[in-house]
Amino acid sequence: KNKSEKLIFEIANEPVSPMTKAQNDEMHQKAIKVIRKTNPTRLIIFQGIDWGGSDALINAAIPNDPYIIGSFHSYDPYLFGLEGKGTWGTASDISALRAKFQKVKDWSDKNNIPVFLGEFGSLKKCDYNSRMKHYKTYMELSETFGFAPAAWDDGGDFRIMNRSAKTWDDDIKDIIAHSSLLSPKMP
């Protein structure tokens, strides 16, 4: 309770079956009650079931609490982002991702709940140009829709930074660093 307000709690990361939606909703509400005994205004992140996808967030029971942040994870489309198949970046691809973000934004506005895109990315084995466009589009849509984004770096297949060498692994660092409206712009 004596930590900076910059510390944010997340009750569960990517809750998944055998936990049910009802159990996930109940767990969040119970955990928030416990947290509020010592942290009455600390921000708390909640997610829906099934790996924390956007539809699960939209369908989750909203905890009765004014200091919450809704979170979702996205590697869409699955075959590209999580299996590394094909290419990505057509107008149709971008439109489908924009539609997903719009649904979450509509939910956010309706419920007055901020959104954290807690994980996004695509495998290193994906087509290079498609992968760069994938990260750039996620960053741009996050900015457009007002979501706080976090690119997933697992130190392996989604590596962005080589932790042991303390060096950036590839160009994704530049995409992330230069995609905000507040970022310095390069010629």
Whether the predicted pLDDT of 87 surpasses 50: yes
Task: Tell me what the mean pLDDT of segment 47-66 comes to.
Answer: 96
Task: Tell me what the mean pLDDT of segment 3-12 comes to.
Answer: 95
**Global pTM value:** 0.92
Report residue 180's pLDDT band, with 50, 70 and 90 as the boundaries. Answer: low
Q: CA Rg, the chain, in Å?
A: 17
Whether the predicted pLDDT of 95 surpasses 90: yes
Task: Tell me what the mean pLDDT of segment 80-104 comes to.
Answer: 97
Catalytic residue among 5, 10, 83, 119: 119
Catalytic residue among 10, 14, 83, 143: 14
Task: Tell me what the mean pLDDT of segment 83-111 comes to.
Answer: 97
Task: Tell me what the mean pLDDT of segment 47-73 comes to.
Answer: 96
| pLDDT, position 187 | 39
Whether the predicted pLDDT of 185 surpasses 90: no
Q: What is the pLDDT of residues 16-35, one digit of tens each?
A: 989 999 999 999 999 999 99
The side-by-side arrangement of strands in the sheet containing 148-151 is: 9-10, 44-47, 68-74, 115-120, 148-151
Q: Is 14 a catalytic site residue?
A: yes
Q: What is the pLDDT of residues 140-151, one digit of tens each?
A: 999 999 999 999
Task: Compute φ and ψ for 70, nearest 5 degrees.
Answer: -80, 140
Report residue 136's pLDDT band, with 50, 70 and 90 as the boundaries. Answer: very high
Local structure of residue 82 (DSSP, 8 states): T
Residues 11 and 101: their CA atoms lie apart, in Å, by 23
Express as a percent the part of the chain with pLDDT over 90: 86
Task: Tell me what the mean pLDDT of segment 29-58 comes to.
Answer: 96
Name residue, tokens 């290079």.
128
Task: Tell me what the mean pLDDT of segment 27-46 comes to.
Answer: 97
Per the structure block, which two tokens stand in for 110?
Answer: 């309706």
Q: Is 119 a catalytic site residue?
A: yes
Whether the predicted pLDDT of 77 surpasses 80: yes
Q: What is the pLDDT of residues 63-72, one digit of tens each?
A: 999 999 999 9
Task: Tell me what the mean pLDDT of segment 41-61 comes to.
Answer: 96
